[in-house]
Structure formats: structure tokens, C-alpha cells
């Protein structure tokens, strides 16, 4: 009898243990499902504002996305994944946004200098590169009110959602100028060339130009495009000298020739484009050669033009016999492309692909935009002077 009771007791204990284990597994499964659902909801909200068009719901959507993100646990944040959403959208530290001035104040006066940039969500780069150009222009033209506009609504939304900073898009900035009864409007693009972003800027201005006494658009950094790869100009020469000098200084060489003797090549990485203005990159390579800068090579993230693709540039640097490489952006802003496509650790970044080639002894990166270089700022100041004084 006692044996039967003991066996029954053991069976009960076993059943209870199994039920407890099953219950624990179910609870853990339910918890994981809840975590994923919360993360997926945030991903949907991020994807909803990762768009190039502002709507009447944009402000509310940005606020909802940040509120939902803040409500997640650290573990849930790591699960965020969508078409464009990932944990870095809100989680990556890009610097202190409070140091940036969105330049969206009213009380503009008769004369406005609107500085138009593609934009960046990297706070430190926005302050250093875009802010650097804006401050240089304000210092040069104190009688004009400098204001800001970005052409990338995706970036505007990112900054607004994450940091609560509101930056005008082109339409908002132009309407602000109209509302403030601005008479004379000068627009200075910080774009590199007469590419797609510049075209969109000029199209936006068309709808507003009749509401001002005068509207003038200054040249982008590299000036006129030119007809083919060998056409260069004074702007390209000035930009080439500026970025080369800064790269050499940052690499702690006395001169570009000293870097060459040390077996070091500099690769300047632009964005690249399918626009006809892509010839500007080929022209910059021509300009480097005209200046005798034999150890400088031009590449692009997009690989357009073809000779600027990473594989092509690696071959060119290797064939020239250089064993050390310094990568640096040929971009006004050292933003996502500089940090990730150029200097990131993923296997498809330029740094990783240069390392994977096994052809070089060292690969260094300089994550600094053109906008922070005084000589580049001076080019923009000169372009603005051309339209203000004529």
C-alpha cells in the first residue's frame, strides 16, 4: 500500500513539474511575441515617416514614433526592424542636437540669404559642416538674414522625431520668406554640383519667384558642370586644393609629395549620381591630375561614373604602387555615407573592401565633411557675392 502511495505521489510530482515547465515555456513564448509586436509597431511608425513628402500628419507621426520608441525596453529596441527602420534610427548617438541652430526664425527683414542643403541626421556633422557654411555666410553678409532649408524630407523627419528639432523644407522656407515680406531672396545651395538636388531646388523656386522683388540662385560648390571629363574651372581647382591640403594636414604629412614618398594615396569619396552632372567627378579627377596630385583618386558610393566604383579605384591605387590608403569624403557633410559606406565595418564599406583586397598595408579614414573647411566656405562666400553684387 505504501509503495502504491509513493508511486502515485511521484507521478503527481512529475505531472506538476511538466505542467510548470509547459507553463514557463508558454509564458516565455508569449513574452517574446509581445516584445516582437512592440518592436514591429515602432518599425511601422518609423517607416511611415521615412518618406520624401511632408503631410498634415507628419508632426503627429514623428511624435508618435518617438513616444513608442521611448516606451520600449532595451531588449525590445534591438528587435526593431522594418523596410527602413532599425535600432539606430533613434538609438545611435550622433552628437548633441541642442548645439544646432535650425535657422527658422521669423523677423527676417527685406533681405534673406537662404542656405539650402540636402541635410544630415548626424548632429555633430550638421553643426560642423552645414553650420560652418551658414556661419561663414552670415559673417560675410551681416546685412542679410541667413535662413536654412533642407531638400531631404526623410532627414528632416528623422531629426524632428528623434531630437524635436524642426528644420524647414524648401516649401516651408520659401513660404516663410513670403510671410515675412522678404523683398530680395538669394539662395546659396551647399550642394556639390548641378545635380538632381539642385534641379529640385530650382523647380521649387519657380512657384514662388513672382512673390519677391528679386530671386537669385548662386552656384553650387563645383560651379558649372562642363561638357566632358576634361573640362575644369576655377571652382574645381579651389575645391581640389582645399580638400587635398586638409587631408594632408589631418594625416600629419608636411606635403602631398611627402605622403607620396611614404607610399600613401588619398581616396576622396563622393556620393555619385546617374544625373548627367556625374561628369563632375571625372572632372575632379582631371583637376587633381592637372595639379600634379598623382596620389589622389576620386571614387563614389554609387559607382557612377563607372571609373569611380570601389573595385575600379582599388585597382587604380594598387597599379600605381601605393601601399597606404587614406579615405576621406568628397561630400559637404560627413553624414551617413561617410560613417557607414566609407568607414563602416560592414563588408561592403569602402574601408572593408580595401582591406579585403589584401593589397595595402594600412587603410585609414578621415570622417570630415567639406563644409568644415574654411577654404571651401570661402568658395560659397564668393559664389554668394557673385549674385548679390550683380
DSSP 45-58: HHHHH-SS---TTH
Enter the pTM of the model: 0.90
Tell me the per-residue pLDDT of 251-266, one tens digit each, with 9 for 90 and over. 999 999 999 999 999 9
d(CA 201, CA 170): 7
pLDDT at 276: 86
Question: pLDDT tens digit string along 19-46?
Answer: 455 555 656 677 789 899 999 999 999 9
Q: How many residues does the chain have?
A: 390
Lowest mean pLDDT among 48-52, 120-124, 234-238, 272-276: 272-276
Q: What is the pLDDT of residues 76-85, one digit of tens each?
A: 999 999 999 9
CA dist., res. 269 & res. 302, Å (int): 10
pLDDT tens-digit readout, 201-241: 999 999 999 999 999 999 999 999 888 888 889 999 999 99
Q: State residue 14's pLDDT score.
A: 52
| Chain segment 135-176, per-residue pLDDT in tens | 999 999 999 999 999 999 999 999 999 999 999 999 999 999
Read off the pLDDT of residues 307-334 as tens digits, 9 standing for 90 and up.
999 999 999 999 999 999 999 999 999 9
d(CA 340, CA 354): 14
The pLDDT, as a whole number, for residue 229 is 87
Rounded Cα gap, residues 96 and 61, in angstroms: 23
Amino acid at each position: 500500500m505504501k509503495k502504491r502511495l509513493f508511486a502515485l505521489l511521484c507521478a503527481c510530482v512529475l505531472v506538476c513539474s511538466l505542467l510548470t515547465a509547459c507553463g514557463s515555456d508558454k509564458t516565455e513564448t508569449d513574452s517574446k511575441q509581445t516584445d516582437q509586436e512592440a518592436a514591429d509597431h515602432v518599425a511601422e511608425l518609423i517607416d511611415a515617416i521615412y518618406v520624401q513628402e511632408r503631410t498634415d500628419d507628419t508632426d503627429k507621426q514623428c511624435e508618435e514614433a518617438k513616444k513608442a520608441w521611448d516606451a520600449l525596453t532595451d531588449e525590445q529596441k534591438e528587435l526593431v526592424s522594418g523596410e527602413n527602420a532599425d535600432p539606430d534610427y533613434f538609438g545611435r548617438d550622433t552628437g548633441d542636437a541642442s548645439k544646432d541652430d535650425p535657422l527658422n526664425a521669423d523677423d527676417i527683414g527685406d533681405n534673406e540669404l537662404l542656405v539650402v542643403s540636402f541635410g544630415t541626421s548626424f548632429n555633430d556633422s550638421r553643426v560642423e559642416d552645414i553650420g560652418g557654411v551658414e556661419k561663414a555666410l552670415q559673417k560675410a553678409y551681416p546685412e542679410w538674414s541667413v535662413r536654412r532649408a533642407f531638400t531631404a524630407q526623410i532627414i528632416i523627419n528623422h531629426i524632428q522625431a528623434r531630437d524635436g528639432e524642426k528644420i524647414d523644407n524648401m516649401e516651408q522656407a520659401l513660404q516663410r520668406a513670403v510671410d515675412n515680406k522678404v523683398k530680395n531672396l538669394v539662395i546659396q545651395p551647399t550642394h556639390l554640383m548641378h545635380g538632381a538636388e539642385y534641379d529640385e531646388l530650382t523647380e521649387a523656386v519657380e512657384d514662388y519667384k513672382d512673390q519677391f522683388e528679386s530671386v537669385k540662385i548662386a552656384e553650387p560648390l563645383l560651379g558649372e558642370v562642363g561638357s566632358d571629363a576634361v573640362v575644369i574651372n576655377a571652382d574645381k581647382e579651389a575645391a581640389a586644393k582645399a580638400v587635398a591640403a586638409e587631408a594632408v594636414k589631418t594625416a600629419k604629412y608636411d606635403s602631398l609629395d611627402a605622403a607620396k614618398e611614404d607610399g600613401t594615396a588619398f581616396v576622396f569619396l563622393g556620393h555619385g549620381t546617374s544625373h548627367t552632372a556625374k561628369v563632375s567627378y571625372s572632372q575632379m579627377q582631371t583637376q587633381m591630375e592637372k595639379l600634379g596630385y598623382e596620389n589622389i583618386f576620386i571614387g563614389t558610393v554609387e559607382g557612377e561614373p563607372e571609373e569611380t566604383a570601389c573595385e575600379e579605384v582599388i585597382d587604380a591605387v594598387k597599379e600605381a604602387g601605393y601601399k597606404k590608403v587614406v579615405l576621406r569624403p568628397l561630400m559637404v557633410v560627413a553624414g551617413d555615407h561617410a560613417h557607414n559606406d566609407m568607414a563602416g565595418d560592414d563588408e561592403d564599406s569602402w574601408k572593408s573592401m580595401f582591406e579585403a583586397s589584401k593589397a595595402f598595408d594600412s587603410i585609414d579614414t578621415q570622417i570630415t565633411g567639406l563644409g568644415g573647411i574654411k577654404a571651401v566656405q570661402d568658395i560659397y562666400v564668393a559664389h554668394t557675392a557673385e549674385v548679390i553684387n550683380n
